[in-house]
């Protein structure tokens, strides 16, 4: 299995997992860009946001719900947080397994870089 996030989801590669269920896994980003930086991924290998077909809408909603649960766990609910999905080169995507970035613990800027 060549995809690093597939290997994390099956515990064949190391990661600090903070939440998992039958459809999703959440783990700490290896190069955090904020005091809290967690990635939420589907267990299913989906290459990115462009690969999200209508039959996967429920799964994507689940990832946002997991992000909310993890944000509560991490103490981000009161001050808020940012969710980011990157697609392709212009989006800044570097790992081609769909992931939602959960960023918090500092004030985010807008527009993003």
Instruction: For residue 92, state whether it binds ligand AMP (rule: CB under 6 A).
Output: yes
Q: Give the contact letters, 40-79, x = binds to ligand AMP (CB under 6 A), - = no.
A: ----------------------------------------
* Rounded Cα distance, 107 and 58, in Å: 30
12 φ, ψ to 5°? -90, -10
Instruction: For residue 15, state whether it binds ligand AMP (rule: CB under 6 A).
Output: yes
The CA-CA-CA angle for residues 58, 63, 65, to 5°, reads: 90
Which of 31, 55, 78, 107 touches ligand AMP by CB under 6 A?
Answer: 31
User: Residue 38, preceding bond cis, omega within 30 degrees?
Assistant: no
Which of 22, 94, 109, 113 touches ligand AMP by CB under 6 A?
Answer: 94
Which active-site residues does the annotation give?
99
């Amino acid at each position: 299995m060549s995809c690093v996030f597939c290997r994390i989801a099956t515990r064949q590669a190391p990661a600090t997992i903070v939440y998992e269920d039958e459809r999703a896994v959440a783990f700490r980003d290896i190069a955090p860009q904020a005091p809290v930086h967690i990635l939420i991924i589907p267990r299913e290998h989906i290459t990115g946001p462009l690969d999200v077909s209508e039959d996967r809408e429920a799964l994507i909603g689940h990832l946002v719900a997991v992000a909310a649960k993890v944000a509560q766990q991490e103490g981000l609910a009161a001050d808020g947080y940012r969710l980011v999905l990157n697609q392709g080169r212009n989006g800044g995507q570097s790992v081609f397994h769909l992931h939602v970035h959960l960023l918090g613990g500092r004030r985010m800027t807008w527009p993003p870089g």
